[in-house]
Chains A and B, each alone.
Chain A
Amino acid sequence: MGFSLDFLMQGFADALSWTNLFWAFVGCLVGTLIGVLPGIGPSAGIAILLPITTMIPPTSGIIMMAAIYYGAMYGGSTTAIVVNIPGEASSVPTAIDGYEMAKQGRAGPALGICAIASFVAGTIGIVGLTLFAPILSNVALAFGPPEYFALMFMSLSLIISLSGRALLKGLIAMSLGLLASLIGQNPLTGAARLTFGWVDLMAGLNFISIIVGLFAISEVMINVERSAALIYESRIKGWMPTWEDIKRSFGAMLRASGIGFFLGLLPGCSPAVTTFIAYDAEKRFSRHPETFGKGAIEGVAAPEAANNATSTSGFIPLFAFGLPTGPPLAVLLGGLMMYGLQPGPMLFQQNPKFVWAVIASMYIGNVILLFLNLPLVGWWARIALVPFPILGPLIALFCIIGAYGIRFLVFDVWVALIFGVIGYLMRKLSFPIAPMVLATVLAPMLETSLQQSLLLSQGSPVIFFNRPIAAVFMALAILSILRGAWVQFKTHAPEIALDDADE
């Protein structure tokens, strides 16, 4: 089951066959497209294309579906940077600095750095997958409910740095986010909450509708109000990142790749979660934290690297145990099983040709994506030059299609529109939006793991502190909260505001 160069070389030979190369390319292209469109995520994309896979050989089919997943991570950043609308939940942190860069006329370099960071992280991720798959697969199992709760709690404490100067407003935004995700059935007991007897609310609010509303629709509304002619008016300086940009963000890419890779091994730690953690880590690590939120290129590179590393390392528990770490991988698992391929330790022994061909194809896929994305950078960045009276309605249209596409329910469209209004009001009153999104993304897992942990411990919260992994996360979270509070009260001119709400 361990690493063998022979197997990898054989894998490359298979992956480089014309058929496999073609399907890898198709997957990359579709993935990028899905990433660009807000609302339509990789799970839906893979699910829609599943029927095609019954017509092509298993290896090609899985190669294509895998390419859609990591390809979507490349595409998600595009609209986040150019028009401040994250194409995927995982690109929310990218929008913070990416959009600022775009406003300064540096959309091209921001997009370029995304492609490069994605490539670097994707490749690091695959090297990790190649060499350590068998060893690392156990990490997923070490995480039980208490560990998850501690990790989610730590992630939630990032709100402090995400809200910057406006700590109180950030906390209010967070509470709103948590409240919104409470609507619907309790994920474990099924008890209905905050539905007011309205059956449509039973299934809860989908966080993709919430994100589409908060970011995209409110952005359109703000621009309409300003009767903007363009999304932002500024000279565009250069399409490509400079060597200086790459040098500045290279460290960030490597660190974020590491964070994304390890968190990606855990079921439930979707790229949407890891990108926030990577962004925050980079901000703390940086010698110039004041530039974050004002167009720091590291702030773009870090989340983009993290989401690619996460999507790649998710294949480790999938192949090694048959454990999907997120919905797109669950669909992939379904695909594997449709072909009669049983993931698990036996997969490496019984179908080595298949496994290594897929792994090898991921190296190739990343190269394809780099070439697919870098030359198109200028083209994507030009979207912002489309006059707003044309672009605005188009964005609104895509938002509505995207929101409808989640579950094919008109209800989700209404949710997106309502959150558009909420997002508009929040921007007007300069409430930061990112903490609300983070809270909505984390809440289901936070709640589930808290309930499960307390059941396991029969009500005692000590369970979060007497298990080593959980204790470390809890300590980090508490330190982060104390530090945030101290900075807030002591200095009055604290960490740098990360107010994506103010203009």
Chain B
Amino acid sequence: MFDEETGATIPHIAEREISDEIAISVQELDVTYRTTFEKRPTLKQAVVRLGRGKRSVKTVEALKNVSFDVSRGSVLGIVGHNGAGKSTLMRAIAGIVPPTQGRIEVVGRTSTLLSLGVGFNRSLTGRENVILGGLAAGLTKDELEDRYDQIAEFADIGDFIDAPMSTYSSGMGARLAFSVAVHLDPDILLIDEALSTGDAVFKEKATQRMQELVNNSSTMLLISHALRTIINMSTECIWLDHGKLMMRGNPEEVVDAYTEYVHVKKTSATMNDM
């Protein structure tokens, strides 16, 4: 398989045996946000609002009645337009955002690689952020010390590892984030658009590492707008549209249905980045 945009080889990891145990069970999940249009809620605004007597609250139904199971060792691709609820779904499964309705059961340790990348504080160095991220994710200090060299080596950003993260390029940040996430030995790996900023060499390395994890019966959820990545990497695919689960099935069929629905031709541009 050949990625037309980057020239990297993307191996198929779809053909493999899948366990019959459930790793993630999402049951009738609703997630509703109530957001105000105020970007930063302040006491000042609250007082001003008191004078006007109204509050502009917008309810966003990010996910509506979504149910599915994921079996251990499978790779679930998630496609959908911007704002379809893909990232919210990931955050709910990771336990960061609480469900409004419904129930989520997750078996094992999850590791998240969400769109914002690694990091706590950009004025801290890469090394400090790796350690902080690892400790927050539940690793012990000893485990981290053992893995630190592997993480740094895999990210391959050289001396930048000891420079503040504010000096990183976006690609370097993404590489470090990916490296941390895959070295946490997760049972479940949640990846949100993680590979879009890496270069061709890193993409290939990342794909290989993901394959290793899946071979060790980790479960993976993958969000990508690069539809070819979804087809190549996932064993199964779901399509979200405005928070609703539209379709679930074979990745190729789901991607076909999705592209048809949004009326775009399956050109190489849309397949690589949509």
Q: Do A and B bind each other?
A: no
